[in-house]
Amino acid sequence: MKTSKLGVALALMAMVGMSAPAMAADSEPLEQVTQGSLMVTRVGAIGAGVVLGTPVAVVRESVKSYIDFTGMAADKVGEPLGGKDNGPVCLVCSLVTLPVGLVAGTLKGVYYGTKNGVVGGFNTPFHPDTFSLGELDSE
């Protein structure tokens, strides 16, 4: 069965034409063209934000979780000795909270890094928040 190139091209154009959104009569064509041209930039920003921002968020959240868990454990365990203000109590508690902080920080960092990369990459392409360099929980 032979198909002509013209027939295939017409079929593809018809499929693309049917899948395109209907244009409103009162919308500005320049705004539509601008938004359409930004799609390439937005897709690139999403990819870069997820690839580069996720490891940044994982490191930031791991350190934050480790410090928070160590302080909470030191306050619970070493309350009579001064809690998190006592260095030896924090040292002993940090041995237990290191793996917990790394696991919790990794999970939270993957979530925030991916979310910031996708949402920030689409709304504000290549902004520092896209790469998890600003506030991690931006919304």
pLDDT at 27: 63
The rounded distance, in Å, linking the Cα atoms of 118 and 42 is 9
Say what the pLDDT of residue 139 is: 47
* CA dist., res. 81 & res. 104, Å (int): 27
- DSSP codes, 22-65: PPPTTS-HHHHHHHHHHHHHHHHHHHHHHHHHHHHHHHHHHHHH
Average pLDDT (43-50) is: 92
pLDDT digits (tens, 9 = 90+) for 83-127: 778 888 888 899 999 999 999 999 999 999 999 999 998 898 889
Confidence of residue 28 (pLDDT cuts 50, 70, 90): confident
pLDDT mean across residues, the chain: 83
Q: What is the pTM of this model?
A: 0.70
Kindly indicate the confidence band of residue 56, based on its pLDDT and cuts at 50, 70 and 90: very high
**What distance in Å separates the CA atoms of residue 139 and residue 122, rounded to the nearest whole number?**
14
Give the span between the Cα atoms of 131 and 67, in whole angstroms. 23
In the chain, where the domains are located? 41-131
